[in-house]
Structure formats: structure tokens, C-alpha cells
Structure 1
Amino acid sequence: MTLPDYTRILVEELGDRTIVRLNRPEARNAIDLELGRELHDVCARLEETPRPMLLTGADGCFAAGADIGQLLGRGRHEALAGINSSLFERVHRLPMPTVAAVDGYAIGGGAELAYACDIRVASTRASFANPEPGLGIVAGAGATWRLPELVGMPLAKLVLLAGHRIEAAEALSSRLVAAVVEPEELEATAMALIDRMSRMSPIALRLSKYVLDADAVHPYADLLANALLFEDEEKKERMQAFLDKRSTRSTS
């Protein structure tokens, strides 16, 4: 099957797996609308032809959040549409397992994308964080309910309410990730997990995932909270200050 000419991701389809690399190095792989559209296209392919997916980031970074420049311009209607939330839920509901290989930053929406995957492995320099309240919004793409399920409520509250970052060692001890390895070993470690999956019955693996994922989580509260916050002036001021600060750093 011929792949489209993606501009934000690199995709390699092997016989029994698909490898996806987020590829916006100039923005530390921040998730913008076009990257989201391209991931939706990959999901459609994996729904049609189920196979495990390895998801990682190019250039030593998983994803440093959603694109703040685009978030700044979004209002309540975009918040209720759940642009990233619906994408990450689609990733989570893919018929075959997903493995996130996290190197460097997994921040904000980048962390939420990693949380949506079935299994995570990390490099020694991996760092997970959800700083959304500092930008005047809620972590509205899954962190408020996925992270407590993954690491427990006390650590999740520390991350979501106090700006705590989960570095590699704590990610391993809290079982957020299955393994921590040196950066040069990261992709091979993730591939080894998929090798183990490939030796199993594909239909049994698929049904096991369906049963494990059979829950009643509905992230509408996230969407409603951000529908209010996306119209708030403080959100706009905080995001504009972030963009101005980043622009100043890049020109100095």
C-alpha cells in the first residue's frame, strides 16, 4: 500500500508492524492540526489493516506539547470538538497494541499521546509533564483520567496540580513506563516488545486488548472545562507570553 506524502510524520510499514515518528524538529515535534490529520490517517490504515504500532519522536524528543500558537486562537467550540482528545482516544482504541518509545520531552499533549498508548518505554533522558494549568487551561486530552489510572491519584495530582515532572527513574518506579534504557537502545527495546506480541495469536491479542479497554471513561468533563477556559482572557495572555518568550529566546 502506497503511503501519502506526510509532512509532519515519518511512517514505515513493515510486515507485522507500523513505525510512526513524529517529525517536526523545528517545533520539538509539537502536535499541530496537520500532524493530527496525518496521525488520523495512520489510525485509519491501522483500523483497516490491524497491526501493532511503534510511536516515537524524531531528533531526541517525543513531543513537547500541542502547538501553543494554534491553541491560543481556539475557543469554546474547538474545545468541545476535542481535537486532540478525539485523536488520542482513537490511538488508544486501535485494534492492536501500541508502544510509545519516549526520548526526551513528552510534555502536555505529547505526554497525553504517550499516555494513550498501551505500553511506554523511555530513555534515560525522558521527562513527562502536564503544565496546562500554567497556560490557563485543563490538560484536556486524557491526562486528568488516564494518568491517575497509570500511576495513581497522588502522583497524578502532583503532576497536574503542582507542575511536577516525572523523570525517567520515577516513570519506571511508578510503572508509567515498562523499561528505561539508554537513548541508543530505545527503539530496539520497543521493537523487542512488538517481537513478543508478533509471536502471539493475532486475534487473541486483539480481543485481549478489547477486553482490557472495555471501560466507561467519557472525557466530556475535560472538554467542558476547556470550553470555558479557551474563551478566558487569562488563557490568551498566558499563551501569548509563552510565545513571546520563546520568540525572544530564538532571536537572542
Structure 2
Amino acid sequence: MEHNPAIREQAVLLLRRGVTNRAVAENLGVPRGTVGWWRHQDRKSRGETYEPLTDCPRCTGLDLDRPTYAYLLGLYLGDGHIISKYKQHHLSIFCDATWVGLIDAAEEAMHLVMRIPRVSRRQRQGCVEVQSHSTHWTCLFPQHGPGKKHERRIALEGWQQEIVDAHPWAFLRGLIHSDGCRVTNWTVRNGKRYEYPRYFFTNKSDDIRKLCTDTLTKVGVRWTVLARGSDPFNVSVARKDCVALMDAHIGPKY
């Protein structure tokens, strides 16, 4: 569709003044895609290279919210992944749709770690995908790579390990909120039924489970490994004092 040259000229002037594509499109009654193309052509004609704004702490030297990052790292290692390819760059955390508080917490964590990228939610069958759109999430999560996380080596870099060591409970909270749970088990002794709470963390990656158990050990929580069939995928915390410690710092999902 051809547009009046005067409208295009007006749009370009507004764009050069810093008006957003959306605002220009709404004011002039032009599709946003067309406005974006005009912006691109104008920059190209002036030899201007577009560099999107970023507040990535690794690239800009800005302060990183370390406790929040530790939590988000746990979420990422559990139920997160990064898409980084042409015109698609975002961090996704998948949350069970029933855990409304977890969905809010994931969105808030993304926003606090980097405030500039757009954060959105996408409803999927039985879950909600929380997305934050930026090419710089790979800077903060260098564990990103091809294939599933449990099929490749996962190791923290030195700066990440320093954050986890400084904020172990935030990291554990992220792991439990993603791939863990607090349940009530029961058993029968001397004809009486006894109930007791228990925490589980379940992940197919040996490396990620070790990150979990190493951190549990550092905070004084005793754990065991329970096999699923012949696979030792489940980390269990069942001792009364350790469950109480987990409750004080993590608690059940909500």
C-alpha cells in the first residue's frame, strides 16, 4: 500500500524527535510495521547504526540485583530456556498456571535484573510462559546452549558461583519453585497414621542436581537421593529440623 509522501515525511520527523513507533502509527493512522520500515530506511539513508538500549549488568557495569539474580538463576536452571536467534531473543520461564504467586515472582525477578527489556506472559496449555525480550540474557546465563540442559554440561562461572555462595537461599528458592515442591507424606506406625512434610527437587541433569545438593549442604540442610526406577532424579529433604529450615527460607509454592 502506497502512503502519501507528506505522511511519511511527518512520521520520520516525529521518529527523529524520539516518538515511539506505536505513537506515530496511532497518531497518523499508519500500520506499526510501516512506521518501523520508515524508521529503518531513514537510519540507513543517514548511515546510522541502530544500537538498542540495554541495562545488562555484564555489558554496562550497572549494579546487578544479586539476590534476585540468584533466584532467577534457580528458575532458569529448572524450568527456563533462552531463545537466541534472528529476530527472536528472549528468556522464558515456564510456570504451572495454578501457582499465581510464582508467575508474579518470575515476572518481577526478570524486571528487577534488567528493567529495560519488555516482559510478557503467554498462556499455554496448563502453564504460563513468562518472557523477557533481550539479546543480553545470554550474557547473564552463559549456560545457554544447543540441546536440552540435562544432555549437556552445566557449570556456573566464577561470578555466578560467588552470587550463589552469597545468596544460597535465594538460589535454592528458585530451584524449588521451578523443579521442586513441598509435600505431605504419611506412614503407619503401630497402627497409627503419621504425616510429615517433605521437600523434593527433581531434575534429570546430574550437574543441576549437584548444584542443588552442594548448596543445601552449605546451608546445613541434610538431603538424600531417591531413585525414580533406576534413575536418581529426586533430591529429598525429610528431616524435621531441615524441613523447618527450608520452611523458614522457602516455604510451599502459591
TM-score (norm 1): 0.26
User: Hey, which of these two has a bigger chunk of strand by percent?
Assistant: 2
TM-score (norm 2): 0.26
Greater relative contact order, per chain length (Cα 8 Å cut-off, separation 6+): 1
